[in-house]
């Protein structure tokens, strides 16, 4: 059945302008007045995990562009994990050469960012230990952590490595996963000649939102990201009613329409204070009946510069959990996906 879409116009800045993360949006919880986690980390660096893989190189490039947009420093972190026991016991194993290679990789990555993005302050760091643990620690000191995500499989979608999943599931700050091959032009609309171009306006930022449990941290991150890009924000909410509710008695269509209007009104109510706080952001509200994961994937599959989803930070008996909607976004959406932890 069709969903409800509503576009709420806002005031736009001149296209193509690049400015730091908007200071007027560095704020507080709209109800309590306390600083949100996102506001607390506005001046912390953008940190990116580096290894010798195509997805990692794409993540470094995306992180450099994001640091430039936010006006923040960039930190490139490589974790040198212990060599497997059998390799370490081999007479051919040379730990010094291993360290030299890691140092050279970090140094060349830093130099490359300085060359390609001269406006970004960039540093590199090499650490030894378990990648998931050390990158998780790095996330706690960063405003944003960026990691690479492997290529696409016809059977399973995009392949998210165990390290990335472990970090996403436990990080206390937002984590962005970037696909191998991601280019700057992929985040932008076509130019007038129909050619993908980073000089064209950004594609929309897409926010997956549960209106029954909205969180200020998630909403502020999405609205601020859209404001920074001068991009529209598309807020997507899915609602679910048992299919049997619409069959077998007179007036099913009226019942569905009433439920759909109620959900659309609920979404509008949740977004209203954030539209006032970010008046320059054009907002489209989309409510649809069905699977939240499938609806978000379908909406963001081909037309998003960034997809923003939440992850509840409560722990479970078997460890941290990312949720089925976030799991689907990470595995099936080509655009960079930001996972924002919240209470």
| Cα 65 to Cα 176: distance, rounded to the nearest angstrom | 13
306 close to 338: Cβ distance less than 8 angstroms: yes
Neighbours of 298 (CB within 10 A): 15
Encoded tokens for 99:
């360290």
CATH of domain 41-200: 3.40.50.12370
pTM of the model: 0.82
- Check for a shared fold between 1-16+203-306+320-335 and 41-200: yes
| Torsion from C-alpha of 320, 63, 102, 150, nearest 10 degrees | 60
Q: 287: helix, coil or strand?
A: strand
Helix (H, G, I), strand (E, B) or coil at 7: strand
Would you write out the chain's pLDDT as a tens digit for each of its 343 residues?
Answer: 445 444 444 434 433 333 444 443 444 454 444 445 555 556 799 999 999 889 999 999 999 999 999 999 999 999 987 666 566 556 666 667 778 888 999 999 999 999 999 999 999 999 988 888 999 999 999 999 999 987 444 434 455 678 888 899 889 899 999 998 899 999 999 999 988 899 999 999 999 999 888 899 999 999 999 999 999 999 999 987 655 554 544 556 777 788 889 999 999 999 999 999 999 999 999 999 889 999 999 999 889 999 999 998 765 554 557 788 988 898 889 999 999 998 7
In eight-state DSSP terms, residue 185 is G
Per domain, the residue ranges of the chain are 1-16+203-306+320-335, 41-200
330 neighbors 168 (Cβ within 8 angstroms): yes
pLDDT at res. 255: 76
C-beta of residue 297 within 8 angstroms of C-beta of residue 333: yes
Residue 28 DSSP label: B
- Written as six digits, the tokens of 325 are 């909607």
Per this entry, what is the length of the chain? Answer: 343
For residues 161 and 179, give the distance between their C-alpha atoms in angstroms, rounded to a whole number: 11
CATH of domain 1-16+203-306+320-335: 3.40.50.12370
**322 Cβ partners below 8 Å, 6+ apart?**
165, 168, 169, 311, 330, 339
Residue 267 and residue 285 in contact, taking contact as beta carbons nearer than 8 Å:
yes
For 111: left if phi > 0, alpha if psi spans -120 to 50, otherwise beta; the answer is alpha
């Amino acid at each position: 059945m069709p969903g409800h879409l509503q576009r709420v116009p806002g005031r736009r800045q001149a296209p193509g302008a690049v400015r730091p993360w908007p200071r007027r949006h560095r704020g507080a919880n709209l109800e309590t007045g306390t600083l949100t986690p996102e506001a607390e980390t506005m001046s912390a660096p953008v940190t990116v995990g580096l290894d010798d893989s195509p997805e990692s190189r794409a993540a470094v490039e995306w992180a450099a562009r994001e640091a430039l947009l936010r006006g923040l420093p960039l930190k490139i972190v490589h974790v040198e994990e212990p060599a497997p026991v059998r390799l370490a016991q081999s007479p051919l194993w040379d730990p010094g050469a291993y360290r030299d290679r890691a140092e050279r990789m970090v140094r060349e990555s830093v130099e490359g960012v300085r060359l390609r993005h001269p406006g970004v302050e960039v540093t590199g760091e090499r650490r030894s230990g378990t990648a998931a643990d050390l990158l998780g620690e790095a996330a706690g000191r960063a405003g944003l952590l960026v990691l690479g995500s492997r290529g696409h499989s016809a059977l399973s979608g995009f392949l998210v490595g165990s390290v990335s999943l472990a970090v996403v599931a436990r990080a206390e700050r937002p984590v962005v996963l970037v696909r191998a091959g991601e280019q700057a032009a992929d985040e932008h609309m076509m130019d007038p000649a129909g050619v993908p171009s980073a000089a064209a306006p950004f594609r929309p930022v897409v926010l997956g939102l549960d209106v029954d449990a909205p969180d200020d941290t998630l909403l502020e991150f999405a609205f601020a990201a859209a404001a920074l890009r001068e991009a529209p924000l598309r807020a997507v909410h899915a609602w679910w009613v048992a299919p049997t509710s619409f069959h077998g008695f007179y007036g099913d269509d009226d019942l569905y329409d009433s439920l759909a209007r109620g959900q659309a009104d609920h979404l509008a109510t949740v977004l209203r204070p954030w539209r006032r706080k970010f008046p320059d952001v054009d907002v489209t509200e989309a409510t649809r009946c069905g699977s939240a994961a499938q609806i978000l994937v379908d909406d963001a599959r081909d037309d998003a510069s960034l997809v923003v989803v939440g992850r509840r930070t409560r722990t479970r008996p078997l460890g941290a959990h990312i949720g089925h909607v976030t799991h689907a976004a990470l595995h099936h959406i080509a655009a960079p996906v930001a996972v924002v932890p919240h209470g």
